[in-house]
Structure 1
Amino acid sequence: MPKASVVKIVVSDPKSGKAIQIETKEPQWLYGKKIGDTIDGSKIGLDGYELKITGGSDIAGFPMRKEVEGAVRKKIWWWVDKRMRVKKTVYGNTISDEIVQVNTVIVKYGEKPFEEIYNEFKSNKQ
């Protein structure tokens, strides 16, 4: 199985609804963290920020699910409506070297306002 060498961390601001995407080339510090855990934002350049992991996706594009324990792919029954269900492949709730995207939300803000950080990322992207 190919391993992810770069992990994209999506940081969302619940107040403004805006998000930025930060790439990290050394994601080993994330391995073993689960959905719902908090991480230190200073490891990705957001000093003073605290981020909560809300999900992500693996190298094949399968979404992470909080209910599935471990760093594994599983097929689960997914209810489409009250009469029909389908089998979906999902990834477990633990970050491993197969995860390429981690979704986070800010739970504690740093000294620098997120709006300022957002504008810096937007100007650097162009």
Structure 2
Amino acid sequence: MAFKIVIADPKEGKTFQKEVESRALIGKKIGDEIDGSIVELEGFKLKITGGSDKCGFAMRHDVHGNAKQKILLRQGPAYHPKDDGIRRRKSVRGNTISLDVVQINMKVVEGPKALSEVFGADAE
């Protein structure tokens, strides 16, 4: 299973994309810290911050499991109301990575060097 990994470097304010074929990510949850060697970044420590499934439904940290559910939302992720007090029932994906998830968002917790040195200056 190929995942599109989007890695944010908070120190630089940049994101980098990488496609990884790995089954080691299945079962991990939003908020888990993983070793960078799983996504071919030796020496880095990464934190899972979110993602989306094959239909584009966002993962939410407060929905347990990996199933898609309709929940009543008043704020993001997955819903950003224009006025205060507006709520809406939306479909979202749970906080556990499964085979249905296509994109996984992560951020660098610690690493030996900047991600721009690993990916090159032209990658963004």
| TM bucket, shorter chain | 0.7 to 0.9
Equivalent position of 1:103 in the other structure: 105
Q: Distance in 1 between matches of 2:31 and 2:8?
A: 15
Report how far residue 14 of structure 1 moved: 0.4
Q: What stretches of structure 2 of length at least 5 have no aligned partner? A: 75-80
Q: Distance in 2 between matches of 1:19 and 1:117?
A: 12
Q: Distance in 1 between matches of 2:84 and 2:15?
A: 34
Q: Distance in 2 between matches of 1:103 and 1:113?
A: 18
Query: With structure 2 as the length reference, what TM-score do the two structures score?
Result: 0.86
Query: With structure 1 as the length reference, what TM-score do the two structures score?
Result: 0.85
User: Would you say 1:116 and 2:117 are equivalent positions?
Assistant: yes
Of 98-107 and 76-85, the range deviating more from structure 2: 76-85
Runs of 4+ residues over 4 Å off in structure 1: none
Q: When you count helix as a share of all residues, which structure comes out higher?
A: 1
Equivalent position of 2:35 in the other structure: 40
Structure 1 residues 52-63: aligned runs within 5 Å: 52-63=47-58
Report how far residue 42 of structure 1 moved: 1.5
Q: What stretches of structure 1 of length at least 5 have no aligned partner? A: none
Q: Distance in 2 between matches of 1:96 and 1:10?
A: 17
Equivalent position of 1:29 in the other structure: 24
Q: Distance in 2 between matches of 1:21 and 1:33?
A: 19
SS at match of 1:35: coil
Length, aligned pairs only? 117
- Equivalent pair of 1:19/1:118 in contact (CA under 8 Å): no
SS at match of 1:9: strand
